[in-house]
Chain A
Amino acid sequence: MVLKNMKLAVFFIFCLFATIQASAQAESGATAKQVVEKFQSELIAVMKNGKQLGYAGRYEKLYEPVSNSHDLTKIARIVVGKEWEKLSEAQQQKLVEVFNRFSVSSYAHNFKDYSGESFVFDSEEETTRGGVVVHSTLVIPDNKPVKFDYMLKEKGDSWRIINIIANGVSDLALKRSEYTSILQREGFDALMAKINEKIDNYSKQ
């Protein structure tokens, strides 16, 4: 009897470990490619219901997918370049917070409806410094395809997007030029005001 109980206990413990391990793998074992493809499918799903959802609905539906697949904190730091160090801690926090909202709202605004678009995975490669680039193509019916290259870095035990290069134009480089230029010319408050204005405009259209 005791033996049987032991057996049972061992069995249960084994099961427990197995499930823990499995769920851990589901969380952390996602490869760069999986992270990108998951995000792309979530994006397409929102586009399909884009009209009914409206801006607010799309924003809400995209908030988690964007935050979980992008390393927005890191992106926010990179786009302000060396100016990051000149910001106070409160400013840094505000920047990250506003930048998060801006990123999600620009997705919600720009991917508002669906006309047969689909993402196709092309290839994946490692960069010299431990990043991964996932090459994919957005196929748009009756239109030129757009090449999307996602640059990912490992954050903790998962991969996160830190840059998107569309047809050779790097989002990170573009934003960084803008943000550093505004910080240098007009200062932090002007930058915040401009981003908030853009978010407002996105939400109105």
Chain B
Amino acid sequence: MNKPYSGNHNAKIQKIFLIVLIDIAISLSGCATNGVNGQQTSSAKDDPYENFNRKIFGFNDTVDNYVAKPVSDAYKWVTPQFMQTGVYNFFSNLKNINVVINDVLQAKFAQSAHDTGRLAVNTTMGLAGFVDVASHVGLEQNEEDFEQTLAVWGVPQGSYLVIPFLGPSTMRGLPGSAFDAAANPANYVGIPVQLVSLLNTRANAEGSLKFIDEASLDPYVFTREAFLQWRNNLATDGKMESSLDLDDELGEEAAKSPTKGSDTSALKKTTPELNVNTETTDIRPDHELRLSPPPSALKAVSK
């Protein structure tokens, strides 16, 4: 494990790993299509492979409980906070190479200058990225990746997928992650570095995972909805977030479509204004409802 690997060898492992993952994903979606289309819930539109995804979700959860969480807890226990922060900053800084590339691919040239500045400041004055100097001088971290670039280019999101070991993604997220991995220097240095990177990622997700655990009634659905909304918000740079107000579902006009055929009668007396239209279960932004966010909000979202 401690033996340094040659870059070549690593690249190969990386490639094989990705190919295997993509293969798994494709074959998963393949068999899922054949089987589970029968039982569709309200979110079937985004998640046609729900039954299969749930199995992978359960598998990932087990792996997390028995492997990733214990290791991550141990890491957090033995490592002083300033070291954890340093490691986090280091890997975030490396990611900024990819952020700059994607800024350019999305034609966000001003932001790419900002992010290049951030990368330069942190790599030099920030001691190879361990100290986040840039944030203190107003160069905040932006979140860009290739999946967002694809979204900007108009590639549809595709179905929701849960990838073994890696978690939530979408059809569009697969090429996205492959590109991001290729553009991250941490993936070329050696497996120990990649492991530390993974550990760092898991350790930093602790808060969110704990929140999901506490707040969710159905962790699978909660994770899926939160993930899809979060990605959508990133891809649109927060421009559509207000349209998530679900005005449609608030039902004033939903009353137009009374439940077809379902039993009921006791319900007729409930005020129709709140009947939620089945057809509007799509939580994605309704374009005509788009509100332009204030500039400060944009900044907050892009972090």
- Spell out A's residues near B (CB within 8 Å): 74, 77-78, 81-82, 84-86, 88-89, 92, 106, 109, 122-123, 125, 127-129, 131, 133, 135, 137, 144-147, 149, 151, 153, 162-163, 165, 167-170, 172-174, 176-182, 184-185, 191, 194-195, 198, 201-202, 205
Q: Is the CB of B259 within 8 A of A181?
A: no
Other-chain contact of A146, B42, B222, B289, B300 (Cβ < 8 Å): B300
Tell me which residues across on chain B come within 8 A of A129, comparing CB atoms. 247, 250, 252
Docked Cα-Cα span, A86 to B221, in Å, equals: 22
Q: How near does chain A come to B298, taking the closest CB pair, in angstroms?
A: 9
- Show 9 residue pairs from A and B whose CB-CB distance is below 8 angstroms, ordered by the A residue: A78-B246, A129-B252, A168-B301, A177-B224, A178-B217, A178-B218, A178-B222, A180-B281, A191-B217
Tell me which residues across on chain A come within 8 A of B216, comparing CB atoms. 178
Docked Cα-Cα span, A93 to B161, in Å, equals: 37
Q: Is the CB of A202 within 8 A of B238?
A: no
| Closest A residue by C-beta to B211 | A110
Other-chain contact of A195, B217, B224, B232, B241 (Cβ < 8 Å): B217
- Spell out B's residues near A (CB within 8 Å): 41-43, 214-218, 221-222, 224-226, 229-230, 232-234, 238, 241-242, 244-247, 249-252, 259, 262-264, 266-267, 270, 274-278, 281, 283, 288-289, 291, 293-294, 296-297, 300-301, 303
Docked Cα-Cα span, A50 to B218, in Å, equals: 28
Docked Cα-Cα span, A162 to B246, in Å, equals: 10
Q: Is the CB of B289 within 8 A of A128?
A: yes
Other-chain contact of A201, B214, B277, B301 (Cβ < 8 Å): B214
Q: Is the CB of A174 within 8 A of B229?
A: yes
Docked Cα-Cα span, A172 to B226, in Å, equals: 11
Compute the total of residue contacts between A and B using a CB distance below 8 Å.
172
Q: How near does chain B come to A118, taking the closest CB pair, in angstroms?
A: 14
Q: Is the CB of A185 within 8 A of B41?
A: yes
Q: Given that A127-B291, A177-B225, A178-B221 are known contacts, is A137 also in contact with B300, CB under 8 Å in the complex?
A: yes
Q: Is the CB of A173 within 8 A of B221?
A: no
Q: Given that A85-B259, A149-B242 are known contacts, is A127 also in contact with B289, CB under 8 Å in the complex?
A: yes
Q: Is the CB of A181 within 8 A of B229?
A: no
Docked Cα-Cα span, A202 to B211, in Å, equals: 11
Tell me which residues across on chain A come within 8 A of B230, comparing CB atoms. 167-169
Q: How near does chain A come to B265, taking the closest CB pair, in angstroms?
A: 10
Tell me which residues across on chain A come within 8 A of B266, comparing CB atoms. 88-89
Docked Cα-Cα span, A62 to B241, in Å, equals: 27
Q: How near does chain B come to A194, taking the closest CB pair, in angstroms?
A: 4
Tell me which residues across on chain A come within 8 A of B303, comparing CB atoms. 144
Q: How near does chain A come to B144, taking the closest CB pair, in angstroms?
A: 15
Q: Given that A169-B233, A177-B43 are known contacts, is A86 also in contact with B301, CB under 8 Å in the complex?
A: no
